[in-house]
Chain A
Amino acid sequence: MKDRAKYSAELLFAVYTGAALVLLAVLLLVAPPDGNNHAQFLELLGRLHPLSVHLPIALLIFLPLLEIAGRNPKFSHVQAAARFTLGVTLVGAIAAAGLGWCLARAGGYAGTTITQHMWGAVAVGALSWVCWVLRRNPARERLYLGALALAVLAASFTGYRGGQLTHGENHLTELLPSPLRNWLGVPGKEAAGSSSAVDAGTWYGAQLRPIFEQHCVTCHGPSKQKAGLRLDSFSGLMRGGKHGAVLKPGDAKSSELFRRITLPPGDEDAMPPENRRPLSPAEIAVIEQWIAGGASATQPNPGGAPTPVAGAPVEVTILEISPAAVSAERAQLASAVAQLQQKLPNVVGYESRGSAQLTVQAAWMRARFGDEQVAALAPLAERIVLADFSSTAITGHSASAMAGMKNLRTLRLMHTSTTDATVQALTSLQKLESLSLFDTQVTPAALAALARMPSLKRVYVGSTKISPASAVPQELGHKLIF
């Protein structure tokens, strides 16, 4: 009796879910996404698609695990959960697919990627349903496992297509190291999107298309055509969108596209929309000039790389620091640096918050800083890029310690008792660019050693025995500052 009731409940479940799947397939046939935006209500629901889609995927991938682990007597209890999980997967897949249809229909999607994604989702639903039906009968276990494997495959395919829709065509492969990419035979980042032949010698091909590729085609391209606009080809650009043309050749100021990209970031019409990186002034200048120049597809590229117009503001980019990367880089030396900072507070510091290189500012300590302190820097010598020992009590005894600071770019020894012998020891500093010997004991005899330092750009030798009258080696010519 109880079995009967259970049976009829399961039958009902199968009928309802089966009907929902059929309904979904019909919806897809009758009202496929057509690249237009439809009812806002649909889009509101559709926005829930990314939210709901991950649970059924995860459960579906988890299922084989339950089934396999369940065969082991130790884990036999988990098998009991498999049927329930399968049921939730089925319902979840249908719900996610339904919401996905809402998004595709309302959000301006069209093209093969979305079609494959949607039918893939229907396949996932249908296969889950088949699994559900087959699993009832232990005699059909093999069939069931086969269907389950297919369902997992279908879900992977569908998920990949979905990823392409949101993150770009080659989101999984574009950042692969290039040898691996070549081996797999996938196009790299550079080659991406240039499938349709565009002459890189034209102004449009060399400068405009890369800008559109980078900023626009995610929403105005093959997979999405918001407002019916495609910017992935010249013809699409010229055709415009559902509100008409976006370009007026020869007149940037009255071109809708130019108006949109130059609106202040907060404006409702501004493009790219909020939270997307806006176009740089240089890119805007390129677009402006191209439109003003007639917006031609064939006009040759006027000048090399897209460079900002003369007089345009020069943008400064500040690199983001990744704290994890910084602490990883500093891991080896952090404790040594901390110790040294304890010993010599305000003398040793990191070059910047994003750097694992060190600067040594000892000039302020004057006579309290000497050879002993220089020696204390030894464990970190190769990390030091700038050292200012001006006005300190260091002597020739520190020469070898300084020679060990192989990565020094700037070294200041002014107002010290530095002699030619020290300078001669410093020839090992291959990266040294700037050396201040102002007010030291050096003589013209040190010039030969200075001439051997490959990276040296500026040597300050004022108030020393070196004068413009000294015999200066040719390599040093303009590098000496008296």
Chain B
Amino acid sequence: MKERAITKFHQEAYLAAMQAQTRRHFLRSFSAGVGAIFLGSLGASDRAFAGSREAALDSTSRIDITRDPRRPLAALPPQFAAKAKRVIYLHMAGAPSQLELFEYKPQLMKFDGQDCPASLLAGKRFAFITGVPKLMGPQYPFHQVGDSGHWISDRLPYLEKHLDDLCFIKSMRTDQFNHAPAQLLVQTGNARLGYPSLGSWVVYGLGTENQNLPGFIVLISGGNMPDGGKQLWGTGFLPSVYQGVQCRSHGEPVLYLDNPPDVSSAERRNMLDALDQLNQQNYAAFGNPETVTRIAQYEMSFRMQMDATDAMDIHKEPENVHAKYGSKNGESSFANNCLVARRLAERGVRFIQLYHWGWDSHGSSAGDSLNEAFPKRCREVDQPIAALLSELKDRGMLEDTLVVWGGEFGRTSMRENRGGQMTKFTGRDHNPGAFTIWMAGGGVKPGFTLGETDELGYEIAKDPVEVRDLHATILYLLGFDHHRLNFPFQGLDQKLTGVKPSRVVGEVLA
């Protein structure tokens, strides 16, 4: 009886499906089918063409990134022999003040408290400064350090021991003066949403050796997400398998990675195999690369159950290492993330992106002031960055690991006067006109500084470097001509560096 009822139910469902299949459905799928046939043939000729094009590789042709669709993260060689094999990018979200860290401007001290000359304000847009602000000298004392004789403030006592390893660009420039678009520009090459991040491009081009961990891992600290949000490690138009995977440095590294209670690993495997078959069928029918992404991600999360937990588990590090970083088990901190970054780098992760939030020193309250919050932020990052550099150096890994430190823009030489008021706390407004970044290892000149700002540290006086130039340089260090690492989308060969002229900053190469 029950069986008959089920059979009947099946028949009814079938009939309902037949009725739902109207003439319109037929015409729609028919036309799509014809389109698919056409596109399929187009693809075939494209592939045939790709072979012959490789034979005539000219200076504008795209690097051929072809992988077995089942292994979208497989490692590929760079275009040319590269100095850097992996990147650890330390993004100080909120834009740290270069004038309190690396930019020594004695002249600015002289003019401290004086009205800002009108010539510096003409035609400028500020986030909060109104009327005529006052110039503000450096808030912390500077001194010279190391063989390079570089000036540094007293806020980074650990990092200053590594100053001779760092390569500064003090003439970085952006065209965005708000956090989210400026962060997007620094991380994706475009101030608008929908473009692949630097890490995605790198993993797209190079893949990653360790298939049991994502090739692009993001670690966040400072109590907040960066303003640009998850788009900062998005893939835009690249297949989404190349997007960054946000992990946690305590607890489960990736939420819901473990099997639910009472589900064994074998059961999980069975389920994944069945799902895999369905997805493969779907891929065979439609050829959507996103299906491959889905398969690859299920597979990776299965493999990650073992490896990710091990990689992120800093309990395994001895006490002296924790002391070096200032890291603590079971905390979520920049120090822990730096230690994890080193562990990930050792395990062949291609691109490790750290964000530390809280550098937006406007001075509107204690929490965003140069005199109260800023020194805390400095303490949070100073010792861990120094420990990371020293551990990479000790192991020989700094030879082929590129470490990048920077924010999304600079800060003004003027004291912020939000609403025309002088606040209790000191702070500086956003300055897209000049900011400082540094790089270390991976083929950059150690103990070198490129670019200068004017006497007040306000505008670039020498050797301006655009964000896209920095991107071109990073890709070059990883073995790519930024013109040729591109992806066709919306009728354009899309590049990280966009369409405006950009160059590899040869001056900083070792």
Q: Which residues of A contact B (CB under 8 A)?
A: 311, 313-316, 318-324, 345-347, 349-355, 361, 363-364, 366, 390-391, 410, 412, 414-415, 434-436, 438, 458, 460, 462-463, 481-482
Q: What 4 A-B pairs have minimum CB-CB distances, sorted nearest first?
A: A314-B506, A364-B348, A364-B210, A436-B396
Determine whether the beta carbon of A316 is less than 8 Å from that of B506.
yes
Task: List 7 interface pairs A-B (beta carbons < 8 Å), by A numbering.
Answer: A314-B505, A345-B74, A352-B80, A355-B81, A412-B395, A414-B396, A481-B394
Q: Output the nearest chain B residue to A264 by Cβ-Cβ distance.
A: B501
Determine whether the beta carbon of A351 is less than 8 Å from that of B503.
no
B-chain residues with CB within 8 Å of residue A415 when the two chains form the complex: 346
A-chain residues with CB within 8 Å of residue B85 when the two chains form the complex: 361
Which of B55, B57, B77, B208 makes the CB contact (< 8 A) with A352? B77
Most chain B beta-carbon contacts within 10 A, residue among A313, A319, A436: A313
Determine whether the beta carbon of A355 is less than 8 Å from that of B55.
no
Known: A318-B481, A438-B394, A481-B394. A323 touches B57 (CB 8 A): yes
Known: A314-B509, A434-B396, A460-B394. A346 touches B81 (CB 8 A): no
Which of B80, B347, B394, B395 makes the CB contact (< 8 A) with A353? B80
Q: Output the nearest chain B residue to A314 by Cβ-Cβ distance.
A: B506
B-chain residues with CB within 8 Å of residue A481 when the two chains form the complex: 393-394, 396
A-chain residues with CB within 8 Å of residue B55 when the two chains form the complex: 323-324
Determine whether the beta carbon of A347 is less than 8 Å from that of B54.
no
Number of B residues near A (Cβ < 8 Å) is 44
Bound-complex Cα distance A387 to B385 (A): 27
Bound-complex Cα distance A390 to B463 (A): 40
Which of B74, B394, B506, B507 makes the CB contact (< 8 A) with A346? B74
Bound-complex Cα distance A295 to B75 (A): 54
Q: Which residues of B contact A (CB under 8 A)?
A: 54-55, 57, 59, 63, 71, 74-82, 85, 207-213, 346-348, 393-397, 399-400, 462-463, 476, 479, 481, 503-507, 509
Determine whether the beta carbon of A352 is less than 8 Å from that of B78.
yes
Q: Output the nearest chain A residue to B399 by Cβ-Cβ distance.
A: A434
A-B contact sample (11 more), CB < 8 A, given A311-B463, A347-B209: A311-B462, A313-B505, A323-B54, A350-B77, A352-B78, A352-B79, A353-B80, A363-B346, A366-B347, A390-B395, A462-B394
B-chain residues with CB within 8 Å of residue A438 when the two chains form the complex: 394-396
Q: Output the nearest chain B residue to A391 by Cβ-Cβ distance.
A: B346
B-chain residues with CB within 8 Å of residue A391 when the two chains form the complex: 346
Determine whether the beta carbon of A436 is less than 8 Å from that of B395.
yes
Determine whether the beta carbon of A363 is less than 8 Å from that of B396.
no
Determine whether the beta carbon of A364 is less than 8 Å from that of B395.
no
Bound-complex Cα distance A180 to B171 (A): 53
Determine whether the beta carbon of A352 is less than 8 Å from that of B348.
no
Bound-complex Cα distance A354 to B81 (A): 8
Most chain A beta-carbon contacts within 10 A, residue among B79, B81, B85, B212: B81
Determine whether the beta carbon of B348 is less than 8 Å from that of A353.
no
Determine whether the beta carbon of A321 is less than 8 Å from that of B79.
yes
Determine whether the beta carbon of A354 is less than 8 Å from that of B394.
no
B-chain residues with CB within 8 Å of residue A366 when the two chains form the complex: 347
Q: Output the nearest chain B residue to A312 by Cβ-Cβ distance.
A: B507
A-chain residues with CB within 8 Å of residue B479 when the two chains form the complex: 352
Bound-complex Cα distance A433 to B328 (A): 37
Bound-complex Cα distance A63 to B143 (A): 86
Bound-complex Cα distance A347 to B479 (A): 18
B-chain residues with CB within 8 Å of residue A412 when the two chains form the complex: 395-396
B-chain residues with CB within 8 Å of residue A313 when the two chains form the complex: 463, 503, 505-507
Q: Output the nearest chain B residue to A390 by Cβ-Cβ distance.
A: B346
B-chain residues with CB within 8 Å of residue A410 when the two chains form the complex: 396, 399-400
Determine whether the beta carbon of B395 is less than 8 Å from that of A462.
yes
Q: How distant is B169 from chain A, measured CB to nearest CB, in Å?
A: 13
Bound-complex Cα distance A450 to B76 (A): 33
Q: How distant is B70 from chain A, measured CB to nearest CB, in Å?
A: 11
Determine whether the beta carbon of A320 is less than 8 Å from that of B57.
yes
A-chain residues with CB within 8 Å of residue B476 when the two chains form the complex: 316, 318
A-chain residues with CB within 8 Å of residue B81 when the two chains form the complex: 351-352, 354-355
Q: How distant is B372 from chain A, measured CB to nearest CB, in Å?
A: 38
Known: A323-B55, A361-B209, A481-B393. A316 touches B77 (CB 8 A): no
A-chain residues with CB within 8 Å of residue B76 when the two chains form the complex: 349
Known: A314-B507, A481-B394. A321 touches B348 (CB 8 A): no
Q: How distant is B454 from chain A, measured CB to nearest CB, in Å?
A: 16
Determine whether the beta carbon of A460 is less than 8 Å from that of B396.
yes
B-chain residues with CB within 8 Å of residue A462 when the two chains form the complex: 394-395
Bound-complex Cα distance A481 to B57 (A): 43
Q: How distant is B296 from chain A, measured CB to nearest CB, in Å?
A: 14
Bound-complex Cα distance A351 to B85 (A): 11
B-chain residues with CB within 8 Å of residue A435 when the two chains form the complex: 396
Determine whether the beta carbon of B348 is less than 8 Å from that of A354.
no
Q: Output the nearest chain A residue to B393 by Cβ-Cβ distance.
A: A481
A-chain residues with CB within 8 Å of residue B509 when the two chains form the complex: 314, 316
Bound-complex Cα distance A354 to B211 (A): 25
Which of A323, A354, A460 makes the CB contact (< 8 A) with B80? A354
Bound-complex Cα distance A198 to B504 (A): 37
Determine whether the beta carbon of A355 is less than 8 Å from that of B75.
no
Most chain B beta-carbon contacts within 10 A, residue among A311, A353, A390, A438: A353
Which of B74, B82, B395, B462 makes the CB contact (< 8 A) with A460? B395
